[in-house]
Every structure is written in structure tokens, then in C-alpha cells.
Amino acid sequence: MLEKLPNFIDTKRFTLQNCHLKGNVDLAEMSRLHDSLYNQDGTVEIDWHFTINEQHRPIITGNIQTTLNVLCQRCLQVMSLPIETKVALIILNNEDQEVPDNYEALILTNPETSLYNMIEDELLLALPIVSYHTDCSSNQYKTLKADPEDLKPNPFKILENLKN
């Protein structure tokens, strides 16, 4: 069982102390994500390393893993959407600092940062625009099911026959 993570952390101090943060957060804590979800069941697991890189800059690297319950946009049934994404953040004091390749900027104005917000931002980026079952049965369903309208005699067809 992974440990539940605190929300507010001193990110810069964590990088100076080479902290390793591993644990989970309830999806229910991430309100901006709720509109994209069928429900808020489940947790997000993270495994993050806070450190100072060779260029003496504070960074966070690691990964995020979760399974979201979303609606398939083809059949509108609930489906599990596993998400696994890598994180590579460089901590900046302001927007003017340059961001090296392979890093995303994390601008911190306060020493205390919401870890949940950081995780939620990463999940929002990783979320596909539309989700659907890879083997969605909705297409199959349509071809197998006879449309009752097809079975009724078409009144226009009958008129056409009368005209002839």
C-alpha cells in the first residue's frame, strides 16, 4: 500500500535535499479533472525525484500512473483508461528564464507548492482529446441489429408500384 501524499510541499527544499517522493493521491482531490471523468474513483500514483541537475538547476523527474473511468465516445459506456506519463520539470523563478530541451517549465513564486495541482496539470496534458474502446462493440452492434423501420413496408414504395 502506497502512502498518501501531502498536498503542500516546499519544492525547492526538496530539490536541495534530493527527495524521493513516492505515493498516491485520490482522484477526488483533482477538481479540474472531474469534467473529463465518468466518476472520481481511484488514485494517482507518483514516483518523483527532486534534485539539482548538472547545470545546477532544480528539477523534478519521474512518472505518474493512474486508471481513469471515462465514457467511450463511440458506445457511451464506461471504460477504464490507463494513463502513464513521464514528468520532467525544471523549476524557474520567472517566465524569462530559458527552458532546456526535454523539460517543461514549472514557475514557482511561492516556496510552498500544491503537489496535487502539479500532478493534475500533468494528467490534463496526458489526457487524450477523445477516448474510446480499442475494440468498441458499438459499430458491430449497429450492423447486427435490424432497424425496425426497414421491416415496415415503405409507403412511398407502394405508391410507386401503384403508379406503374
75 makes contact with Zn ion (CB under 5 A)? yes
Task: Tell me the closest approach of the beta carbon of residue 33 to Zn ion, in angstroms.
Answer: 21
- 110-139 residues in contact with Zn ion (CB under 5 A) are 133, 136
Among residues 114, 126, 135, 106, the alpha carbon closest in space to that of 36 is found at 126
d(CA 65, CA 63): 7
Task: Tell me the closest approach of the beta carbon of residue 35 to Zn ion, in angstroms.
Answer: 20
Chain mean position to CA 45: 12
72 makes contact with Zn ion (CB under 5 A)? yes
71 makes contact with Zn ion (CB under 5 A)? no
Residues 6+ apart with CB under 8 A from 125: 85
Nearer to Zn ion, 61 or 138 (CB): 138
Instruction: List interacting residues with Zn ion (CB under 5 A).
Output: 72, 74-75, 133, 136
